[in-house]
Amino acid sequence: MDFWQQLLANQPFMAGFTGWFSAQLIKVIGSFNEGFSKKTLKKFVTTGGFPSSHSATVAALATSCGLNFGFDSGYFAIAAALAVIVVYDAFTLRLEAGKQAAALNQIIDDVYANKGLQFDRLKELIGHTRVEAFVGFILGIMVAVAFYTF
């Protein structure tokens, strides 16, 4: 079996990928009320927003490892630890970094723009609210259960 066949046959990997893909697709579909544009499609590969694709990915991976190898396996323990770290980071550190970016962008607009200096704006939507992270987590679990069931 070659690399691609092995990868596609790897249920935890495919569940994680599908969790990420599903969350990103939901972001794009949810943006269609703003009109169809490159900006809307760009949401497929950007961070932040509803639901959290990071949470969906790690929840699907951990759940799939638990369902396939047992919830007492080392695989599940590793994936669950990773999931806790990623989800916690998404709604704490990265959310705060986004708030700081917004404040810095405001300072740049207020102070430096009047002096004719040019700065690139910082990306503000990099974290998640607890609800975005939670819904992404639930989406990931549902994806993994679907993979395991079908």
Q: Which two tokens stand for residue 145?
A: 């259960």
Place of tokens 């790690």: 58
Question: Residue 27: what pLDDT?
Answer: 85
Mean pLDDT is highest, among 48-57, 113-122, 132-141, for: 132-141
Which range of residues forms the domain containing residue 52?
3-149
Taking only the tens place, the pLDDT of each residue in 96-132 is 676 777 777 777 777 666 666 666 665 655 667 778 8
Question: Residue 133: what pLDDT?
Answer: 85
Question: Residue 76: what pLDDT?
Answer: 97
Among 4-13, 44-53, 68-77, the least confident range:
44-53
Average pLDDT, the chain: 83
Instruction: Report the C-alpha gap between 144 and 15 in whole angstroms.
Output: 5
- Of 142, 114, 134, nearest to 50 by C-alpha is 134
- Of 146, 138, 122, 123, nearest to 51 by C-alpha is 138
- As for how many domains the chain has, the answer is 1
Question: Residue 121: what pLDDT?
Answer: 63
- Of 123, 13, 12, nearest to 68 by C-alpha is 12
Instruction: Report the C-alpha gap between 109 and 106 in whole angstroms.
Output: 5
